Chains A and B, each alone.
Chain A
Amino acid sequence: MHATRRRTNFGSIGILYCLLVVVVALASVNRPNNLLVWIFAAMLVALLVSGIVSGAMLIRLRAHRIEPRRARVGELLVVRYELRNAARFMAAFDLHVVERDFPASITPCGEAWALHCGPGDTVHAEGVFRPSRRGLFRLPCFEVWSSFPFGLLRKRLIFARVSEVLVEPEIVPLQPALLSRVARGGLMGGVHASIEIGGGEDFFGVREYRSGDSVRNIAWKRLAGTDQLATIERSRSVPPRVRVVLDLRRETSALRVASGVDPRALEEDAITLAASLMALADRQGDEFGLTVLGLDVAAIPLRRGHFHRAKVLAALAAIDLDLPRDPSASLRESAERATILFVHADRADTSVSPSVGWNFTASQLSTLRLPTAHGAAT
């Protein structure tokens, strides 16, 4: 991708150097010392060479941001840049890549830098950022700059290339026993046999033997009685199931919070808690799903696995808390067997659904957190 703009700046060293050149020039004019004149000329040419070399280095440089796609609050976002030097002879040195006009919630904490990119070479540099808020963010453009060879002039190439980064909510480590207490021991959760045939341990039924059935599954008693081969079928075992219901029916301003507490921060904490609960479920092998009440977010069915987790976290990341809420939303009854965990921003509200469930509030996030070795919740 071509640079859309090219810029040249003097750094502080360059300005100091220019002042020095002026002083030497005045001295050369004032005092006809030819060695001084030569030194002045060399200093002046060094300035020109600095501009020429850094300009020539960057003239055929192409840069490309490799889409970062996802990030997570509390984790570092590594953005990779591909730098390609299309020049035939001129190598590029000391290439810095920095993002421009990026959102304030993304803090840079590691500059992307490439020492060298030879003619026809492609090198990668990686910049590190720390997102502090979830959401969908745009990285509108980035620049590649170099002050090689002498650091006097800074040549910049600005590439207008928009990338979108979906920052997932932070996942805090919760107490591992939390889900086993509320879900596995309950009526709706826990490991149980499903109504589907599978490879579990529980008896499901008997059917006629088909060629290829394992000898181990032959119903020997029935064979003895009826003299016909039959195969025992077993039911599929289903892991515990958890549905996290995020209650965002109330407008941010309508939340019932004590004075001095930021209601938007509570909502964000609720989202973080929901994400953390689902991450814990995922880690423990449970199936989990997400329902967001009050916003137009499609309910995500109960599944497990890496992609499902990514899908759920993406849905949480994309929640726009500035959209109007639907206060009448409620959890519909369904035949789904799962423990329901309600996460509320302000207070528990039992009117959400007639179903039996566990209620959490955002303010509980700190107490549910796994204590650190020092005793304090992280």
Chain B
Amino acid sequence: MNLLRQHRVAAFLLVLLSIAAFATSQKDLVLLVSGGALAMLSWYVTEGPRGRSLPSLASNGLIIALLAWTLLNFLGELDLTDSTAVLGRFLLWLLVIKLFSTRTTYEDRQRVTLAVMLVVCGCLETVEFIFAALVFLFLALSIWTAMLWRLHASYEAARVSRRGDGGLLPPPLEVSVGRRLLPQFRRVAFFSIATIFVGSALGFALFPRFGESRGDRSGSESVSGFNDRIDLLANERINESRRELFSLRWIDPTGTPVKSPRPIYLRGAVLDRYDPVTHRWEVLRTSTAIRAMRTPPDAKFVALGPGVPDTTGGVWTAEITMRSLATSVLFTVYAPFAVATDESYSVAFDPQTLLLRDVGTDHVGRYWWYALRVQPQPSPQMMETLQGSVDPPRSDVSFPVAAMVPIAQQILVAASVTGLPTAQDVRDDPSLRWMRNREIARAIAGWMRSGRFQYTTDLSSFRIEGGEDPIVAFLERNRFGHCEYFASALVATLRSLGIESRLITGFVAIEYDGSTEQYIVRESNAHAWVEVRTGERQWTALDPTPEDSLQQISERNRSFADNFRWIYDRVEFLWNSRVLAYDGAAQATIADRVQSQWWKYAQQTLDALRAQMRALVERYALGRAGTIWFSAIALGVVTALAAWFVAKRRTARTHRVAGLEALPHEEARVVARDCAFFADALDMLDRAGLSKPAPMTPRQHAGLVTAFAADAGMEFARLVERFYQVRYGGLRQSISDRAETRNALLRLKSALSRGR
């Protein structure tokens, strides 16, 4: 019986999966390969042609050595935060040793238990999607294995229970099996697995939540460049991942999607404060004029400020489809003045920074679409209308690292800026100040792009000497780094020269897909650049990072797998945004939405029905009684359907109990009509707990019923005789016969009720 032997293979696969899951949780390829290979080898060694297993002495010795090694390592480092990982590794290698031990049921049980513990350790270590996928696979396989194990355990119990007693040997256990065992087992197993998954999803959605979820609501934000700070010492954001985050369609004023000749900078955060102690760039939260607005549904544009002119013509549109990035930031191209979303969202607009953020909690899904109308060269009037009152230009601009001032002076000299207005010119004409700022900034940015600094994301050799600022280290000694260093250096230099500037983080759109006429923005496109104030309300974007470096990063590591990577990205995105970030607010939102949708749907259906009814009433001029007529007809239809269903069921039952399947259709129909009373009688007996055992003939059954209830048995015996006459004697019941049969049924019913 194959089914009774499959549990061992299933349990072994479970063990392999647990090893893979834990290694994934640790992100340890060596552990995965070595542990997995040894585990697979164990199957060949123990179950292969020679069927060897590790002697218990050797096995115990190895376990003791492993325990000692683990303890020594753990006590040597004594990192309590790493205790779960240490325990997991110990369990993993213990499991591998156990795999080489003897293959008994007891050992199998131990292995499965260890596998479950290993997965639990993984659960405590990570909640990442790939690990969660393995956990769900583990869960499905566990269900399958548990079912196989149940059958095997029962078989073993029944087999062992046949013990010899007093020198008597019982006959060996013969396994009783019906037809189509395997397909039916698979059906039950798949039903169980599917029900558990669907039910657990429902349970997950309804589970009461009392706090914030552990999962980061912003999903992969932490590794994608959108948190509102930069830590120059951490160097954790910028990477070369080709994970697709969103797509951008850049539409010109004529409504045609085009490829921009220059990279498109999508602003995500404006960082204007540098902390020289922590070496972090942060948002200086001074803006108090945040505007909250509700976007209309159906992708209708809404202006970002009161009185913003409707400049439908002559403006550019950026359509962004978020694919696998869970963030509340709406990335904007400078300078936006209207926004549209696929659904109605609550959006906050900061006039000071021209940034947009989704502040509503009324949606869970982060796979969404929005569009922005932007004016790359906005007029001062438009900016004034859009921004209202904003912080005026500052005259006391400085950078909090004193060492930067001489460096900035040196750079200014090195950049050899010429043709600048003199200080007297600026005093005479304040507007020249903005031109001076722009020229200096452009010159220094150009100087930084000119090959003196090398772009790299590998900062392993970036050295900072005691107390030195990373920006100074970048400019003075290392001269390599990524965009954050370039942008930080430019801002630091400009501010040291008294020029107001700020650091911007977001994405740069470079990779254009001509087939879909849109830009693909990946994780590696995360970027930082600079904005310099070049007017009362005007800021000019400058990118000190060499453009070809960005292009190189974008094109590096491209492979065939990139064509399909979006599938994984999207599922991971859904996991992050809809599972890990699922909390009480999201639960309430879903509840509200379901309720409102249900009401909406019910009302729509009701309205449609009313409208149809009204139309019919008018068409046939039924007047006020039309409603009554329709109600009566509907009631009649429902009753007829119910009656048809009951009659159909009764006929099918009569066919079964009277064995009419073999008869020709017409004959079966006639006989079934006359034999229906017998099915009714059997139903009555069934309800009274006197159902007919399959091997009994109706007459024998009547005898059995008589033994339990004499009156009922006699009545039933009469009905049985009538049944024989109809079924086998060719009798066709007349009206009086049917009346008599009905009376006999009533008598049987009353006899059975008396018997109770």
Contact = CB atoms under 8 A, between A and B. Distances in A.
Interface in B153-191: 153-155, 157-158, 161-166, 168, 170-171, 173-181, 184-185, 187-189, 191
B605 interface: no
B181 A128 contact: no
Contact of B188 (A46, A53, A112, A123): A53
Contacts of B192: 49, 53, 149
Interface in A67-107: 74-76, 78, 82-85, 90-91, 93-94, 96, 107
A64 interface: yes
Contacts of B299: none
A117 interface: yes
Nearest to A146: B154
B199 interface: yes
B115 to A, nearest CB: 15
Interface stretch (B576-584, B665-673, B712-720): B576-584
A38 B694 contact: no
A42 B694 contact: no
Nearest to B687: A2
B204 interface: yes
A37 to B, nearest CB: 5
A45 B582 CA distance: 20
Contacts of A113: 154-155, 157-158, 173, 175-176
Given A34-B580, A45-B199, A110 B207 contact: no
Given A76-B170, A118-B181, A32 B209 contact: yes
Interface string A33-52: 11111111110111011001
B48 interface: no
A14 B449 CA distance: 69
Interface in A9-58: 28-29, 31-42, 44-46, 48-49, 52-53
B232 interface: no
A194 interface: no
A99 to B, nearest CB: 13
Interface residues of B, number: 73
Given A116-B177, A124-B176, A151-B146, A41 B203 contact: yes
B305 interface: no
B275 interface: no
Contacts of A46: 143, 196
Interface string A202-230: 00000000000000000000000000000
A42 B153 contact: no
A143 to B, nearest CB: 15
Contacts of A75: 168
Contact of A118 (B179, B204, B209, B695): B179
B196 A49 contact: yes
A280 B367 CA distance: 90
A253 to B, nearest CB: 30
Contacts of B132: 35
Most buried by B among A78, A121, A122: A121
A125 interface: yes
Interface stretch (B211-219, B285-293, B491-499, B536-544): B211-219
A95 B166 CA distance: 28
A82 B158 contact: no
Nearest to A114: B176
Contact of A84 (B175, B197, B690, B694): B694
B200 interface: yes
A25 B695 CA distance: 50
B665 to A, nearest CB: 21
B170 A34 contact: no
B607 interface: no
B214 A96 contact: no
A121 B211 CA distance: 53
B689 A2 contact: yes
B127 A33 contact: yes
A48 B200 CA distance: 11
Most buried by A among B4, B149, B150, B202: B150
Contacts of A109: 161-165, 168, 170
A130 interface: yes
A74 B187 CA distance: 45
A148 B150 contact: yes
A94 B154 contact: yes
A191 interface: no
A34 B151 contact: no
A291 interface: no
Contact of A110 (B4, B173, B176, B215): B173
B177 A128 contact: no
Contacts of B579: 34-35, 38
A46 B144 CA distance: 12
Interface string A306-327: 0000000000000000000000
A93 B153 CA distance: 13
Contacts of A96: 154, 158
A38 B209 contact: no
A161 B151 CA distance: 28
B199 A41 contact: yes
B147 interface: yes
A376 interface: no
B139 to A, nearest CB: 6
Nearest to B691: A2
B695 A42 contact: no
Interface string B690-717: 1101110000000000000000000000
B141 interface: no
A92 to B, nearest CB: 8
Interface in B347-364: none
Contacts of A231: none
B740 interface: no
A150 interface: yes
A262 interface: no
B642 to A, nearest CB: 21
Contacts of A123: 176-178
B213 A115 contact: no
Contacts of B151: 93-94, 115, 148
Interface in B320-341: none
A272 interface: no
B84 to A, nearest CB: 13
A91 B147 CA distance: 14
Contacts of A125: 176
B204 A44 contact: no
Interface string A119-156: 10111111010100000000000000001111100000
B57 interface: no
B123 interface: yes
B29 interface: no
A130 B188 contact: no
Contacts of B203: 40-42, 44-45
A201 interface: no
B122 to A, nearest CB: 10
A9 to B, nearest CB: 16
A150 B150 contact: yes
B210 interface: yes
Given A28-B207, A34-B213, A96-B154, A64 B694 contact: yes
A67 to B, nearest CB: 12
A115 B181 contact: yes
**Leading 8 A-B pairs by shortest Cβ distance:** A41-B203, A121-B178, A45-B199, A118-B178, A113-B158, A42-B200, A114-B176, A91-B184
Given A37-B207, A111-B161, 15 more contacts: A35-B127, A41-B204, A41-B207, A42-B199, A45-B195, A62-B693, A82-B695, A93-B151, A94-B151, A110-B162, A110-B171, A119-B184, A123-B178, A124-B176, A130-B165
13 contacts: A2-B690, A33-B127, A34-B215, A35-B579, A41-B204, A49-B195, A64-B695, A74-B168, A93-B151, A107-B165, A118-B184, A123-B178, A151-B149
Interface of A: 1-2, 4, 28-29, 31-42, 44-46, 48-49, 52-53, 62, 64, 74-76, 78, 82-85, 90-91, 93-94, 96, 107-119, 121-126, 128, 130, 147-151
